[in-house]
Amino acid sequence: MPLRLRYVAGVSPAKWLRAWGERRADLPLEAVRVEQHEQADGLASGDVDLAFVRLPIDTDGLNVVPLWEETPVAVLPSEHPLADRATLTLADLDDEPLAPQQPDPAMIVELVAAGTGYAVLPHGVARLHHRKDVVAIPLSDAPITRIALVWRIERDDDDIQEFVAVVRGRTARSSRGATDEAPAADPKATRAAKRATAQRTTAKQAAAKQSAKRASRARSRRRGR
């Protein structure tokens, strides 16, 4: 029986699947992408062995390896007045309606494109469903999300640990505990995390400049009275 892996949109497991195939040709790995509302389905029953999930989820009875953080973005129609902004804050969107929530991110983006409102999505999900009539703008103060690898505590056998080792970047010769304190994500995820940090820094700097400009205009108005 193959190892059964599920992963949410925004996760690209191809690198790990290739590494697993080279390392364990004797044990196939069945990888299926699922929607976020289905991400924990099958874990408790044992129908799924491992899953890349977007936290938070109920982790009772699960081993959890946090991997990387995801930048939140506001998805807006490309003709929206805020569409040319480099970054946004939640306050910028206070007067904007939210697009109706849907279990399928593609449908949420479709509703945004139709002008029903904006949506907040992880950057990887927005990129996956990118289209020409919407834009995705980093949100500097929205809650970040995190991707984790999870599996059942009672399923913690050598095969599972070998896949965890692949995700963490350990070689076949590495001991199981050699690098347990330092999980390694996909290099793309590492670069995404660095971009997220840079984007948050840029957003904070832009917000500070805007605040200073507003304060300066307020002082000018007071002097002009």
SS3 114: coil
Report if pTM > 0.85.
Answer: no
Q: What b/e readout covers 89-115, taking b as 16+ CB neighbours within 10 angstroms?
A: beebbeeeeebeeeeebeebbbbbbee
pLDDT band at 200 (very low <50, low <70, confident <90, very high): low
Residue with the bigger pLDDT between 155 and 216: it is 155
Residue 169 — very low, low, confident or very high, per pLDDT cuts 50/70/90? confident
Cα 159 to Cα 14: distance, rounded to the nearest angstrom: 19
Class of domain 3-69+145-185: alpha beta
Note the pLDDT tens digit of each residue in 54-69: 999 999 999 999 999 9
Evaluate whether 97 touches 117 at the Cβ level (below 8 Å). Answer: yes
Tell me phi and psi for residue 149, to 5 degrees.
-100, 130
* Sequence ranges of the chain with CATH classification 3.40.190.10: 3-69+145-185, 72-142+196-205
Can you state the percent helix, strand and coil of the chain, rounding each to 5? 35, 25, 40
- The 10s digit of each residue's pLDDT in 86-113 is 999 999 999 999 999 998 999 999 999 9
Task: Enter the DSSP assignment of 99.
Answer: P
Give 200 or 54, the one with higher predicted confidence.
54
Q: What fold is seen in the domain 72-142+196-205?
A: D-Maltodextrin-Binding Protein; domain 2 (3.40.190)
Residue 102 to residue 25: CA distance in whole angstroms: 39
Secondary structure class of 70 (helix, strand, coil): strand
